[in-house]
Structure 1
Amino acid sequence: MDSENDGLLPDNPYIVLSVERYECHHGPDRNKAKKNKPEAVPDHVYGKKRFLIQPTKKMDCPATIIAKEVIFFTDYKTSVSKWQREKISKDIKTGMMDDKKLNLKMDKRLVIKLPKKEEHKFHLQGEIEEISMPVDKRIVAKVEDYVTEGFISASCIRMLLDTFVRKELFAGQRSPSWTNRRFFPSQKDVSNLIYSTRLRAVKSKFDQENLVGCVEEWRRENPDDLIDFSPSDDTSRLLFIYQSRQQRRLLQRYGNEICFLDATYRTTKYSVPLFFLCVKTNMDYAVVAVFASQFEDTKTIAAALGKIKEWNSEWNPQFFMVDYCEAEINGIGTCFKGI
């Protein structure tokens, strides 16, 4: 709590319970050091990145909103002598030690300090700043709803958004200016939102169709390799399992004592969990089966291991080493009784 409160706060002793600071969205870049780190080598080769004239909106603006949760003790005043303030402090501490706190009258408030207009620096202000504002999340969600319903014209969706903003978001209130990009996105903004929404809707389907084609080609080229693929739809989950002839031979030879199940976490460009089944050979550790699933749960892991066990009828490991993951542990316990 600031000592100078301009007479706006009560003349009572207080305790600050919590403090939250909210910086201007043009404030300091808190991730600058992380952004300057060299990028990791990508999994795939991509085209040239586009050039950004202004790569960040951070302008080191010092404006900050400070919100404090404060308890005021209304039985006491602070406009007294130093000796009296020390006695009041002692009485409050003694009263706070009492579990019931029956002798203290307290008033909890949320005190918010807003920055002055002059504190905003190094960026545009006023009506002209509205042009550079990001699109509101509610507007983005509404565009996605319109696209889902079948609207794909940017002009048509902009008219619908205008009605949505004026009649729903700001019903009975003064609506923002039409130059405010947050609530009235440009034609290009709406077109980009339509494109991204439609791309998300079809990307998963296209990827699965491509994978079906790849699976058929792999089976023709390597008939001895075992592949099981279940695409994701309304009734089933995505599950891809692969084991080559060489991997099957290694599992049968080295997999009856101890096996390792290793899952990747945020190490690929895709959101599906990727699992490696490994064994220790006489030379090194080797991957003897691979499966990728839509979900990382007990049912999916048990189904994948069950299929691998079906391919290798004599495979019966005594031990399994996994990460501390309940889904993996329970999946192994479901497929292999007694482990």
Structure 2
Amino acid sequence: MAIGERVRFRTTKFCFELTGLLPLKNGEFSNVQDAYENLRQHELQTNSRYASSKVTKDFGKIGLETAKKVFWEDPSEVLHGRINFSGTPFVILGRKIFDCQFGKNRKEKRKLQKDLERRDEDHRYTKGKKFLMQDSKKIGCPARCVFREICRFPTFTIDKDTPKSQRRKIAEELLSKIRSGENVISERVVIAHLASIEDHTCHTLGEITPEPIDPRLAQKIAEMCQSGVSNLDAMRTLLNSYVKDICRPLPHPSNKRFYPSDKCISNHMYRAKSGGKKEDQQAVVDLVSKHTTYCRYFSYASGIC
């Protein structure tokens, strides 16, 4: 067994031990919200994280009138969430792609351009940039999850032996009805393709994987700070109770996404408190500027310079 295969095997075994459950399989969902929830559960079970890299505009809210072509099956270039021939025609409404958090660095060219502009500056006496051994966590992991929203038309179902000429005629008739706004019985679904653990390369999954805090926990910290909670231990106790309410099953204690470190919690508490201070400072600045304008007007009106 190769070294890479041993690493993937240990990673898979560790992820199964985390939750005691197998990763969720690919499937169809009646709406986008259910597909997002399935992806979130997949992230919890595999201790991974995905970020949106490409999405169709207004994904999940696209009307049928935007359909450009009727398909009987997916073309050969479709790799994720492929739909084979079933006799029922469908149209593709949109797509959303999620890359692994350690995937391709899509901002590399922008960063290089900024570095070149910084080097060409005339003033060389400014403070130099801090040297980083690794300025990005992106290492080109190919793992990817894909959502595809399609709409089927079961009343136009055909047999497998139907000739291509008749298929083309039925597809043109269906497309003309869609574009004219006629009432056609349809079924909208979201097909979700989830990356397997073996798709993750160049890195391992598990307790050594860095995880940013979940946005719901960050919002909860801000709310608790506004309520007057300032003790770190009390905040952690409240967060652990909150995780039990929102997560079923519970994530492993090594998952930093739901069990952040003391430093991470302190940073979010400081950010929540400093945000209120900034608002107070801005209110004071506005009040001072208002009184300054009034005093200037009074001095000019009274002839005092």
Settle same-fold status: TM greater than 0.5.
Answer: yes
C-alpha separation in 2, matches of 1:47 and 1:201: 31
Counterpart residue type for residue 137 of structure 1:
P
Does the CA contact (< 8 Å) of 2:151 and 2:186 recur in 1? yes
Aligned counterpart, 2:70: none
Give the direction of change, closer, same or farther, for the CA distance of 1:309–1:85 in structure 2 (3 Å limit). Answer: farther
1:174 matched to 2:249: yes
Give the direction of change, closer, same or farther, for the CA distance of 1:66–1:77 in structure 2 (3 Å limit). Answer: farther
* Greater radius of gyration (CA): 1
Give the direction of change, closer, same or farther, for the CA distance of 1:145–1:49 in structure 2 (3 Å limit). Answer: farther
Counterpart residue type for residue 84 of structure 1:
Q
Q: Quick check: 151-160 or 78-87, which moved more?
A: 78-87
What secondary structure sits across from 1:16 in the alignment? strand
1:83 matched to 2:165: yes
C-alpha separation in 1, matches of 2:130 and 2:275: 21
Aligned counterpart, 2:10: none
1:71 counterpart (130, 151, 156): 151
1:240 matched to 2:289: yes
1:128 matched to 2:204: no
Q: Kindly state the Cα deviation for residue 202 of structure 1 after the two structures are TM-superposed.
A: 3.1
The TM-score normalised by the length of structure 2 is 0.58
1:145 matched to 2:198: no
Counterpart residue type for residue 228 of structure 2:
G
1:58 matched to 2:107: no
What secondary structure sits across from 2:207 in the alignment? helix
Structure with higher helix content = 2
C-alpha separation in 2, matches of 1:94 and 1:312: 74
1:12 matched to 2:91: no
2:181 counterpart (99, 107, 110): 99
Q: Kindly state the Cα deviation for residue 132 of structure 1 after the two structures are TM-superposed.
A: 0.9
Aligned counterpart, 1:26: 102
**Percent identical across equivalent pairs?**
24
Give the direction of change, closer, same or farther, for the CA distance of 1:77–1:35 in structure 2 (3 Å limit). Answer: same
Give the direction of change, closer, same or farther, for the CA distance of 1:136–1:9 in structure 2 (3 Å limit). Answer: farther
Give the direction of change, closer, same or farther, for the CA distance of 1:204–1:105 in structure 2 (3 Å limit). Answer: closer
C-alpha separation in 1, matches of 2:110 and 2:228: 41
1:231 matched to 2:280: no
C-alpha separation in 2, matches of 1:25 and 1:96: 39
Q: Kindly state the Cα deviation for residue 134 of structure 1 after the two structures are TM-superposed.
A: 0.4
C-alpha separation in 2, matches of 1:133 and 1:32: 22
Counterpart residue type for residue 169 of structure 1:
I
Q: Quick check: 57-66 or 181-190, which moved more?
A: 57-66
What secondary structure sits across from 1:240 in the alignment? helix
C-alpha separation in 1, matches of 2:140 and 2:181: 46
Q: Kindly state the Cα deviation for residue 10 of structure 1 after the two structures are TM-superposed.
A: 4.2
Give the direction of change, closer, same or farther, for the CA distance of 1:162–1:27 in structure 2 (3 Å limit). Answer: same
1:108 matched to 2:188: yes
1:164 counterpart (238, 242, 245): 242
Query: What's the Cα RMSD here?
Result: 3.6
Give the direction of change, closer, same or farther, for the CA distance of 1:84–1:164 in structure 2 (3 Å limit). Answer: same
Give the direction of change, closer, same or farther, for the CA distance of 1:159–1:123 in structure 2 (3 Å limit). Answer: same
Counterpart residue type for residue 92 of structure 2:
V
Counterpart residue type for residue 178 of structure 2:
M
Q: How many residues align?
A: 216
Q: Kindly state the Cα deviation for residue 8 of structure 1 after the two structures are TM-superposed.
A: 7.3
Does the CA contact (< 8 Å) of 1:27 and 1:58 recur in 2? yes
Structure with higher strand content = 1
